[in-house]
Amino acid sequence: MSNLTNNRKSERGGAGVKLIIVLTVLITFAHAAYNYIPVAYEAENFKQEMSTAVIQGVAMPGANLTATDAVRIKVQRAAVNNNLPSNALIEVKSANNVVQAHVNYTKSISIIPFGIYNYNYQFDNTATPTGFLFKSS
C-alpha cells in the first residue's frame, strides 16, 4: 500500500511554483493600484474643484477681478494642489456670458514594475457653470 503513494511523482512539488506565480500576480496588481489610484483620485478631485471654481467665479468673482480672472486663479491653485504636470494645458475663456475652464494633460503611470508597461492617463475636462445660476435653453 505504501508503494502506491510513493510512486506518484507527477503529484509532487509544484506548490512552491504556484505560490510564486500567485504572489507575483498579487504584487503586480498591488503595484498597479498603488500607482494608479492616487492619480485617478487627484484627477477626479481636480474635476470637482474646476466645477466649483467656475460656479464661484461667476457668482462672486471678487474685488477688482473679472469672472475669467477669478476662475483662472482658482483653477491654477487647484492644479498645484492636485499635482498636475507642469505642461498641463489650462484655458479659461468667456463665451456668451459664460465662463468655461478647459484642462488637458497626460500623466505617465508605471503599471508593471521596472518600466515594463507605463500607462498614459489622459485628462480632458471642460467645466461650465450649471444649475440655478443659468437658465437651460
Torsion of CA 16, 20, 23, 29, to 10 degrees: -150
Residue 42: how many other CB atoms lie within 10 Å: 17
From the number of C-beta atoms within 10 Å of its C-beta (0-12, 13-18, 19+), residue 37 rates as exposed
Residue 83: how many other CB atoms lie within 10 Å: 12
Asked, for residue 133, whether it belongs to a domain, the answer is no
> Three cell numbers at 76?
491654477
Its domain, for residue 109, covers: 14-127
- Return d(Cα 100, Cα 133) in angstroms, integer: 14
Q: What is the pLDDT of residue 14?
A: 76
pLDDT 10s digits, 70-87: 999 999 999 999 999 999
Number of compact structural domains in the chain: 1
Give me the percent of the chain exceeding a pLDDT of 70.
84
pLDDT 10s digits, 36-70: 999 999 999 999 999 999 988 888 877 777 889 99
The strands making up 117-127's β-sheet, listed across from edge to edge, are 89-95, 98-112, 117-127
Asked, for residue 4, whether it belongs to a domain, the answer is no
Q: What is the pLDDT of residue 66?
A: 86
Asked, for residue 7, whether it belongs to a domain, the answer is no
